[in-house]
Amino acid sequence: MTAIALVTGATRGIGRATARLLGEQGVTAIVGARDDVRGKAAAEPLGLPYVRLDVTDADSVRAAATWIEQEYGKLDILVNNAGIMVPDGPPSQSTAEQARQVYETNVFGVIEVTNAMLPLLRRSSAGRIVNVSSERGSIGRTLDQDHPLWPMLNLAYCSSKAALNMITVSYAKELWDTPIKVNAVDPGWVKTDINHGTGIKSVEQGAAPIIVMALLNTDGPTATFVQDEGPLHW
């Protein structure tokens, strides 16, 4: 039976590359996007289905879950990819409003989508949840003065990814004795719109570890935080 996947924020960048690469593996990868025009434009050339899904809109998320249930009856893979970053400086110059804006997508949106899709994932014989995190959310790496992350002080984005890592662990613990595996992935410094194309990896390279965790075998890990080079410090 064909595996069914949902990739949020899949109109461009890592999300679209993830949907495309899953499709090439024979997975029916649903392109989730909040804009109909861009969503259809991203999905149609890939021969993939599209569903409108705004992770910050609970009604939109529930409607997407209903549509997936009606069309496919289950969900095998959920890739929580949608994410945003806002420019900020030192923490003392950041604002609570900036943090709220980022958390609505990067944190609360993940919870909203995961909870809505979980009943469908429970119908899968081997459900997989992949949360697209960032090395910037690693407290261990952030505190390493010899690491390139040391000078980075983006409070809203970095703390949102640290929160996402704890969200990953929390779901993994709840689902520990089920076939569902929950992992966080750092795609690396990828050339995307979020960093104005300043990354060093292609979107395909960034999507590669996501694909690995999305297609884990039954003996694969859960509650891990990984990148191409291997496990990351929480």
Of these residues, 72, 161, 181, 191, which one is catalytic? 161
137 within 8 A of 165, measured Cβ to Cβ: yes
Residue 47, phi-psi category: left (phi > 0), alpha (psi -120 to 50), beta (remainder): left
Strand partners, 31: 7, 50
Contacts 24+ apart (CB under 8 A), 208-212: 208/21, 209/185, 210/14, 210/18, 210/79, 210/81, 210/130, 210/132, 210/185, 211/18, 211/21, 211/22, 211/25
Q: How far apart are CA 167 and CA 174, in angstroms?
A: 11
Strands 225-227 and 230-231: antiparallel
171 catalytic? Reply is no
Q: How far apart are CA 180 and CA 110, in angstroms?
A: 16
DSSP code at position 4 = E
Q: How far apart are CA 81 and CA 130, in angstroms?
A: 8
201 catalytic? Reply is no
Of these residues, 50, 72, 157, 171, which one is catalytic? 157
Strands 77-80 and 128-132: parallel
Q: How far apart are CA 80 and CA 86, in angstroms?
A: 19
Which residues are catalytic, by number?
A: 157, 161
